[in-house]
Chains A and B, each alone.
Chain A
Amino acid sequence: MEHTSERLPVLKVRDLKVYYETPRGDVLAVDGITFDLYQGETLGLVGESGCGKSTAAMGILQLVNPPGRIAGGQVILDGQNLLGMSDEALRHVRWAKLALIPQGAMNSLNPTMRVRDQIRDVIVAHQRKQSGRNVQTRIFELLTMVGLPSRVYDLFPHELSGGMKQRVCIAMAIALNPMVIIADESTSALDVVVQRVVAQTMLKVKQALGVSMIMIGHDMGLMAQMVDRIAVMYAGKIVEIAPVREFFAAPKHPYSQLLIESVPSLKERKPLKITEGITHDPRNPPPGCIFQLRCPFVMDKCRVVAPPVQEVTPGQLVACHLYENSGDGSLIDVRDAARNS
């Protein structure tokens, strides 16, 4: 976990841009994000609504529909650039190498098909012909892996509870042993205890299969439990990526600090931290730093020049004028430097 530099990235996203056309200009939903997903890790992607995290997932999966479009960048999975691949080629990549557990997955199960048929569809559509026997065995295997009793095999989705439906979706996602799974708010509609069960199932499955995962969400508590690194998005840009412990102990970017402070805890009562949402027009972001309108530490420089993304160590980066890369794997806070000079 500490030696990220020795691990290989299994998914490379470079300067991905997803824009939405509106009559009054493009909405820059995802405006040039760059990150790596390393083998076997879980990367959390957090941000408030409208920050573009779900759109980023759609962009990676090449599932962007008009009026949205992918305006640039690269998504390299296992050496192949997904952008520009034909539909046919993408079909072989999807589900077999890259799977998605979508938002509201529970509601995307076909209510007229039994669980076994839906899972079978996934397996058969993306893999060469398998014997019926093989598929059946595989389905039972998957159900066990997600902790569902075998009788779920014959049931319809409406006969299952929310947590069970969610676990069926997880089973579908891992059916073809993909390299990467993107989970978009996969536990948000669930009760606390069920959420724990589903989350622990996902951890177990990840452990067993060695899958790399991108977890999109907004529950920081859940993130702390589930992920190895956290990426923070704000208004279409990634502002910080850090290993989870360091992130919670000392968040660097002012927005990350705001996120951490607004998490209510069950341990102590503290004064509530009040803030507003994204305040600028997504069609017309301000020049310079994207966060300048809400930043408590904004400087003149921030209004003109966009902060460069500085990589501290491989996999850890921050985009903020408050920090300078010291070059030896750490960041210098310019305020400390100013104070000491």
Chain B
Amino acid sequence: MATTKVGDVPVETTLEVAKVAMPRSPRLMGRFNRWDTPWLNSKLLAGVAIIAAILLIGIIGRMVWNTDLAFTAKSPLNLPPVGFVNSRQQEGTWAHPLGTENSGRDMLALLIVGAPNSFMVGVVAAAIGMSIGTFLGFSAGFIGGKLDDVIRIVSDVTITIPALMVLIVIQSLLRQVELSTMALLIALFAWPSPTRLIRAQVLTMRESGYVQMAKLSGASTFAIMFKEIMPNLTPYLFASFIGNATGAILTAVGLETLGLGPQRVPTLGGTIYDAISAAALLRNMWWWWGIPTVLLAFMFIGLLLINLGFDEIANPRLRQSSQ
């Protein structure tokens, strides 16, 4: 024990003083460091990484690889990927690293073109559905009354309709389906869920203190809608969009795999359909249906991780302290 002076007051120097005189050491237990925020959720990051990688294949692939090979049937048929031998004892070549299929289209080119296609259909469908949903949900919540009743009934009914089944029927009736048509059709079933969500949030926000304050400040209805309520809807819109996009992508892939996707443009699901209808399973051309399937599996896992990650961010109780 020693004595020191603080100001002109003698103070017994004890361990206590020494402890408090030292600055707090940063907690380096690997749990939380200065860079950690809720947004750096491991699941979210992993999911985004996977999806980004898949999209990168599409973006960079276009520049590096000859995408015509996905359309024209000029390559040798039924070649296996590099390092493998097919049933006819042909070896894979680096000219077609992932092999070719039975009409001479290059697998790698198919992936490069097909992956983004499936993805974009889902994203566009979700965007259209969200726009409709936001507009309707906002109107229903803010204006209320009969308009609210009508919108609510229509959206509640639409939600119960099994989307995939109806889409199958519709698309099988149409001879030719474009990517954009498919996106529109999927959007038809994507709007009710955002409508309900936005409506519920608008109903709550309409009664909030800050809306009352805005009225007291003489703000017009318009100003209240767009300046006060809309900005607070963005987190919900974002979360809803992620969920909707995931669902739309899955629906699109489902339709493609059933052969109901666009025929002129290669898609992942479409490739699988072609493979199965050409009996690739029997002919042991595993690369034809296998590689797109694996890629699809990664896509689904990535989307799932993104959704789970967002759930954890939005609901702190789900966050594990081991993160």
Contact = CB atoms under 8 A, between A and B. Distances in A.
Contacts of B36: 23
Interface stretch (B17-25, B56-64, B120-128, B132-140): B17-25
A306 B32 contact: no
B231 interface: no
A314 interface: no
Interface string A142-184: 0000000000000000000000000000000000000000000
Interface string B29-44: 0011010111000000
Contact of B38 (A23, A66, A287, A300): A23
B157 interface: no
A293 B315 CA distance: 35
Given A287-B21, A304-B17, A25 B317 contact: no
Interface stretch (B3-11, B99-107, B163-171, B285-293): B3-11
Nearest to A25: B27
Interface in B131-155: none
Given A67-B316, A300-B6, A305-B11, A21 B321 contact: yes
Interface size class of A (residues with CB under 8 A): 20 to 34
A305 B27 contact: no
B207 interface: no
A25 B27 CA distance: 8
B163 to A, nearest CB: 34
B11 A304 contact: yes
A24 interface: yes
B20 A66 contact: no
Given A67-B321, A288-B20, A305-B17, A23 B11 contact: no
A275 interface: no
A69 B16 CA distance: 24
A23 B37 CA distance: 6
A289 to B, nearest CB: 11
A340 interface: no
B32 A23 contact: yes
B16 A305 contact: yes
Interface of B: 6-9, 11, 16-17, 20-21, 24, 27, 31-32, 34, 36-38, 316-317, 319, 321
Given A25-B32, A304-B11, 5 more contacts: A65-B317, A287-B21, A301-B6, A305-B20, A306-B16
